[in-house]
Amino acid sequence: MSTADRIERERLAKRTRILDAARELFVERGIAAVTLREIAQRIEYSTTAIYVQFKDKQDLVDQMVREDFAAFANALHAAAANVADPIERLGRLGDAYVEYALTLPRHYQLLFMTPLDAASDAPEVHEPTGIDGYRVLLETVRECIAAGRFRAELRDADGIAQAIWATVHGVVSLLIVMGDTDAFHWRTPAVIADLALGSLVRGLLADPTAPQRPKRTARPAPRRR
């Protein structure tokens, strides 16, 4: 490995530590309440070390949100790729959503459970990547409608997509926040997500007796806080 390669690898490792610390603090206390100095203290860096990587706090937030939304959207795109049946694709998207959220709970909490606008003078910075994942779901719902897979009166693609999104979000949000509380006797994420999403999709189908999807093949996502 050349000296330049080593320096770049160390820079990226340091950048990742900074972003991980910032993400944890933002989720714990809210973006507006956290300073760069507090982020530096969390990982025993100097504030100057953060300024080497980011212009200011706003730059750090913008880069973090863009990258996390892009990773989320990429996970959904990968799940949907080469799945011709739109009903089966809905199930695959649900699997990918749950796996992303529970494997990277701090990332998920920052994107979908932490207000972003308070930290940004230009919240549209994160909108293109943030909406990209939604479009994967929306296009799948539109295909279901066009193919006559949903009941004839169900024509509002955005409304259906948002109901599906809200259902899966509810599952992962509960598991992220309360998944370690044994008193609830939580079933596995796969079981809960399949019951929630499967019940919703069956209610949408023109023929609810038709198979919705093959048996789940995705590895159940871990519960992590």
Q: State the Cα angle at 120 between 114 and 122, rounded to 5°.
A: 125
Segment 104-139, tens digit of pLDDT: 999 999 999 988 754 454 444 445 556 889 999 999
Segment 164-210, tens digit of pLDDT: 999 999 999 999 999 999 999 999 999 999 999 999 999 999 987 76
* C-alpha distances out from residue 9 to 12, 17, 45, 71, 213, Å: 5, 12, 17, 20, 43
Name residues whose C-beta falls within 8 Å of residue 85's C-beta, 6 or more positions apart in sequence.
none
Q: How many CB atoms lie within 10 A of CB 96?
A: 22
All structural domains of the chain, each given as residue ranges with its CATH number in brackets, are: 1-54 (1.10.10.60), 58-225 (1.10.357.10)
Segment 79-111, tens digit of pLDDT: 999 999 999 999 999 999 999 999 999 999 999
